[in-house]
Structure 1
């Protein structure tokens, strides 16, 4: 089934099938769990194909060198464009996306991914950008089949036709988008470096390796349980009983609610408890500090709305004069990985109040505590500003890309002079 674009092709553009500019293609190798190694020859997982045009592999995957040699037909390098025609997610958000491989790298394809050799009639970078365009994504969604594991048949993928400009205009569009990519990449590096600087600062200021000027009190720590009350949340049972819920009232804090907000604050929830539900849970109010202790462990949030927490959270109550909740927020943030490692095994890892109470907190004046917290707040403010700039750049590039790749916005080339 061939799906064509649904707008008038711009002057000088022509319909091209994907097959017309694919010289050759390679399929993925059949990897079993026994074929994977902790090191060896790198494998491209399907989730490595993401929006943006370049291969993104956060967690490297490897197979043995011998497997790679016996599956040379699935090897790809920078001469290939990689696409995925299979997705475990029912909506298939990444299916059909095309990405480049950086120079000097070589991979084995996993099943569901393909390596395309692009001929002289298509700029590979332009094709990768095209795969992120709205007409292309719409075409991919229309030819997807399957439910639990959606996929696209190779023949139907190659048959798809899109309006494409001349090579000169393709090259110019790819050049423009590459400039945006470089700006985005520079901002991403700035963001990563800012996060690293904050982490290094926390390592110094939260361990006593570095003290603020004017504070000479000997550095020591004390158990958190000596500084505040640690109260675990509670859930009304059975949780499926609709009488515990309402369309308004106190918010019912879910893990997804606290992880969806990048700020230190919890401001909204998707569910609310009825008065009966509230009576069987634990109330929290504006200014309270809570922390997740189940599944996603160690996420601290300052509550900004009347709410209730279930037993996947704790709230820190009645802080002594020797405890700054502002600094406690950053102490928790600093030791999140350590807390996750201390979680009790089970269907979901979790902490109890005793483990939380063992957290070591700096035994220094509250004045120094607040000053340290303020330094971290400034670092967060800088990180937040960079993150917002990055979001803006990505949004602006995407808007420009949709115009350039549909011909709504044209570029001048030497051919047009």
Structure 2
């Protein structure tokens, strides 16, 4: 059902379509008047496209400020990258633009394309691509101009909130990085529970002196009795998908027989699990009993070390592991080299303080990440209502 006062029409009737052209690399080296935008430049901005290299070429068509731009081929279409040109620009040959005609405003067109998602418009049978034949007949709902403007204003407030929170997140990430640099090198010393600043010398320890180390293993995949049990079995993919430093569950699980008849070892809660193959240095702390595959070296800290401190120390000093890795097919860190890697560490009370300080920064980052996700979900739901007319806006 078409909302009252709205029009169901073809997109091609309300936009001028233009594709980009690739100039020679020699001409691109010349500094000039207009930004030259490629697909990868779209990663550096959210809504308005402004940053890229500049040059001048009289043979290329200038894409006017206010055009909606997006990739016209390749995987970037599936990522739904859509931007608004904040100034006059040139476009690469892998991109195209839609400039609104009378009766359609830029911001409303932008939100329509974001909601519709590019892959719905594109031909995705082989390599995803969009051209004039996909744009011209595409049907969309068009409200009167005052309602378009009001809808765009409302959605823009959500964009501003998302952008503001993303800036806060970026600043917090930079602050955490600076704090790690200070705390994990001993340049900044914290106060103990009595308000006295820590002052003892840090000592050098091998990883093998920090606790019990072990590798992981994989039960025989041909033995169904080894799989789909109750024991978590960690892979590097599980770790790289984590949003915090803790792992509670894994995608796959094994049985007690799987542990008994393989090199997988049951590790206690509080173990540090470090990827040492391919994705070297990705790590997690177990919150329950767990096993890992052979892509890990695992550490059960002894009474002299706190696992949270070691997590941050190893993360900060990850290059110490990477530079010892070797391999022709993929890099891997051996148990021997893992065990003998050395780090300077403070006594346990200072480890606790450092772990608490950095964990507090992680909680702030987690809060901001969750806030961004929540705002994006709310914006998506609001777009669905406003751009279909299910929820009407009041026009002043």
Measured in 1, the distance between the counterparts of 2:271 and 2:68 equals 51
- Equivalent residue for 1:152, pick from 117, 130, 151: 130
Cα offset, 1:71, TM superposition: 6.9
Matching of residues 106-185 of structure 1 within 5 Å: 106-111=89-94, 113-133=95-115, 136-137=116-117, 140-141=119-120, 144-147=123-126, 149-185=127-163
Measured in 2, the distance between the counterparts of 1:242 and 1:407 equals 56
Cα offset, 1:210, TM superposition: 0.8
Cα offset, 1:360, TM superposition: 3.9
> Using a 3 Å threshold, how does the CA distance of structure 1 residues 245 and 125 change in structure 2: closer, same or farther?
farther
Measured in 2, the distance between the counterparts of 1:107 and 1:281 equals 58
Is residue 94 of structure 1 aligned with residue 79 of structure 2? yes
Is residue 85 of structure 1 aligned with residue 72 of structure 2? yes
Which residue of structure 2 lines up, in the alignment, with residue 253 of structure 1?
A: 234
- Equivalent residue for 2:10, pick from 14, 17, 29: 17
C-alpha offsets along residues 238-277 of structure 1, whole Å, 9 cap, x if unaligned? xx52447422232221222122221121111222224443
Whether the 8 Å contact between 1:244 and 1:275 is mirrored in structure 2 is no
Cα offset, 1:408, TM superposition: 0.9
> Using a 3 Å threshold, how does the CA distance of structure 1 residues 367 and 140 change in structure 2: closer, same or farther?
closer
Aligned length: 386
Whether the 8 Å contact between 1:46 and 1:84 is mirrored in structure 2 is no
Which residue of structure 1 lines up, in the alignment, with residue 309 of structure 2?
A: 327
Structure 1-normalised TM-score? Answer: 0.81
Measured in 1, the distance between the counterparts of 2:321 and 2:244 equals 20
Whether the 8 Å contact between 1:258 and 1:299 is mirrored in structure 2 is yes
Cα offset, 1:42, TM superposition: 5.1
Whether the 8 Å contact between 1:299 and 1:332 is mirrored in structure 2 is no
- Equivalent residue for 2:359, pick from 377, 386, 390: 377
Structure 2-normalised TM-score? Answer: 0.85
Structure 1 unpaired stretches of 5+: 1-7
Cα offset, 1:358, TM superposition: 4.7
Whether the 8 Å contact between 1:243 and 1:277 is mirrored in structure 2 is no
Which residue of structure 1 lines up, in the alignment, with residue 204 of structure 2?
A: 221
Whether the 8 Å contact between 2:71 and 2:96 is mirrored in structure 1 is yes
Cα offset, 1:185, TM superposition: 0.8
Measured in 2, the distance between the counterparts of 1:265 and 1:259 equals 12
Cα offset, 1:125, TM superposition: 1.3
Which residue of structure 1 lines up, in the alignment, with residue 169 of structure 2?
A: 191
Measured in 2, the distance between the counterparts of 1:208 and 1:42 equals 46
Is residue 396 of structure 1 aligned with residue 378 of structure 2? yes
C-alpha offsets along residues 19-71 of structure 1, whole Å, 9 cap, x if unaligned? 12212412353899x9999x9975422693799644599xx8x7x96xx7487
Whether the 8 Å contact between 1:259 and 1:299 is mirrored in structure 2 is yes
The Cα RMSD (Å) is 3.3
Cα offset, 1:345, TM superposition: 4.8
- Equivalent residue for 1:72, pick from 46, 53, 60: 60
Which residue of structure 2 lines up, in the alignment, with residue 409 of structure 1?
A: 391
